[in-house]
Amino acid sequence: MFRLNRLTDYGVVVMTQMAQGRPEVVTATQIAASLGLPPPTVAKLLTALTRGGLVTSQRGASGGYRLSRAPGEISVAAIIQALEGPIALTACVHGSDEQCEVEALCPMSGNWNRVNEAIRGALEGVTLADMASHDMAFMPPAPAPTARAEPARKAS
């Protein structure tokens, strides 16, 4: 099963919450309270998202955090990369932090790149604005069911 870790899932939720209140400066405590998440978890996420360039922090009495750019300019891929590093399904794809010990002998060498690029492209195609919208119009329509051919009947 391909899954994001819980912290990354929370990161998308935090960013989505911030996108809905944009351009307001909010504190980690305010975000945590509105989402029902532990404040230390939200603070950890905001630190990583700030390091990733997706959030800016403001010090002082009226300090807090805000998105570094418009929600439509931040992709889900960028959020995942800020929290988990490069999007790499296996050790043998370009951009992976890991090295595959059998890559030279593997018949799949290079083929995973196509799958990885497709997933990365899909994640880059969904923005924070899309995630913050309750309108799911950005989702592609489900494929129509295919008609099954009826078996030919013998004439009697």
Amino acid at 17: Q
**Alpha-carbon separation of residue 37 from 44, 54, 71, 153 (angstroms):** 12, 20, 22, 63
How far apart CA 37 and CA 12 sit, in angstroms, is 13
pLDDT for res 143: 45
Phi/psi for 100 (5° steps) reads -90, 130
pLDDT for res 89: 73
Question: Which band of pLDDT confidence, cut at 50, 70 and 90, is reported for residue 9?
Answer: very high
Which segment of 32-41, 97-106, 138-147 scores lowest on mean pLDDT?
A: 138-147
Model-level pTM?
Answer: 0.76
Residue 96 has pLDDT above 70, yes or no: no
Dump pLDDT digits (tens) for 107-127: 666 677 788 888 889 999 999
Report angle CA 77, 79, 82 to the nearest 5 degrees. Answer: 110
Dump pLDDT digits (tens) for 37-63: 999 999 999 999 999 999 999 998 889
Q: Which residues, 6 or more positions from 11, have their beta carbon under 8 angstroms from its beta carbon?
A: 45, 48, 49, 79, 82, 83
pLDDT for res 105: 63
Structural domains of the chain, with CATH: 6-86+127-135 (1.10.10.10)
Q: Which residues, 6 or more positions from 25, have their beta carbon under 8 angstroms from its beta carbon?
A: 58, 62, 63, 64, 65, 66
Range with top average pLDDT, 27-41, 81-95, 109-123: 27-41
Average pLDDT, the chain: 81
Task: Find out whether 12 and 76 touch, Cβ atoms under 8 Å.
Answer: yes
pLDDT for res 86: 85
